[in-house]
Amino acid sequence: MRLEVDISGKTFRSAAGETHEVLAPVSFALQSGEVGVLIGPSGCGKSTMLRIILGLDRDFHGTIARPPEARIGMVFQEPRLLPWRSVEQNVRLAAPDISEAKLSELFRILELEAHRSHFPGELSLGLARRVALARAFAVEPDLLVLDEPLASLDDALAGRLRDEIATLVASRPMMTLLVTHSLDDAVRLGDRLFFLSPQPARILAEVPISIPRGARGDAEIATIRAGLLART
């Protein structure tokens, strides 16, 4: 499977009637088993780009080619859980066919076992994010989209969750698109990094990481990180 993004532009008309250019021409492609990372400053149009790729926003110029049968798993910036359904129901509603064994395995990896019957309002942001992750992986996606999955978590928690995401992403060959403004996320989880400019967003540089994700220890990550910092 292959995702091809070819956006030639996107404008936005504000309430005051002014038009803003949100996206400049952007194009890239993603293969199964590959993790693409979109890195850019806050407000550069990353989320707009994601909405276009997901088919939520059709008001743009260009084309998005993804297999119509591709299942999508998505982790939104805010967890977007159903507050009136329990943790387990939230996951099952997105993935009704999931087996009990798979579900237990997911809840174990994401440390959610104790929270199955809790309602989202009773969870901390970190836990709610985990539920959103569980939901996205439960559908066994062909295309996984993560929109700032670690934003506003403290460093220790973000680090742990980052490792859990790495485990889950490695467990399944799928196209993964990660949006982040954190270089830490990118070097730990990504295969190809796309550096975006401030609004209107365009791709400034595409940087592949040659060391496979599984073989990256702390030392390798530090080297890659240093290399990236030297570029910018």
Provide CB contacts within 8 A for 108, sequence distance 6+: none
Q: Choose which of 65, 80, 163, 198 interacts with another protein (CB under 8 A).
A: 80
Q: Which C-beta is closer to another protein: that of 72 or that of 203?
A: 72
The reply to whether 59 sits near another protein by the rule CB under 8 A is no
46 binds another protein (CB under 8 A): no
Angle, to 10 degrees, between the axis of helix 87-94 and the axis of helix 125-138? 30
Segment near another protein (CB under 8 A), from 40-48, 75-83, 160-168, 197-205? 75-83
Q: What is the dihedral of CA 33, 222, 41, 132, to 10 degrees?
A: 50
> CA-to-CA distance for 40 and 23, rounded, in angstroms?
13
For residue 39, give the DSSP letter.
E
Q: Is 172 in the site for another protein (CB under 8 A)?
A: no
Q: Total binding residues for another protein by CB under 8 A?
A: 23
Q: Is 67 in the site for another protein (CB under 8 A)?
A: no
Rule CB under 8 A: is residue 133 a binding residue for another protein? no
Phi and psi (nearest 5°) for 201? -70, 135
Does 68 engage in binding with another protein (CB under 8 A)?
A: no
Sheet holding 192-196, edge to edge: 72-75, 143-147, 175-180, 35-39, 192-196, 203-208
Query: Does position 124 bind another protein by CB under 8 A?
Result: no
- Minimum separation from the CB atom of position 80 to another protein (A): 5
> d(Cα 48, Cα 55) in Å, to the nearest integer?
11
135 is a site residue for another protein (CB under 8 A): yes
Determine if 20 is a binding residue for another protein (CB under 8 A). no
The residue written with tokens 């087996």 in the block is 99
84 binds another protein (CB under 8 A): yes
Looking at 9-17, 34-42, 68-76, 175-183, which segment touches another protein (CB under 8 A)? 68-76
CB of 48 vs another protein, minimal distance in Å: 13
Sign of CA dihedral 33, 78, 91, 106: positive
At 147, the amino acid letter reads D
Kindly state the helix (H) or strand (E) to which residue 188 belongs, with its residue range: helix 183-189
Provide the minimum distance between the beta carbon of 218 and another protein in the complex, in angstroms, as a whole number: 35
Would you say 59 or 78 has its CB closer to another protein?
78
Q: Which H/E stretch holds residue 102?
A: helix 100-109
Binding positions for another protein, rule: CB under 8 A: 51, 54-56, 71-74, 76, 78, 80, 82-85, 89, 93-94, 96, 119, 121, 135, 139
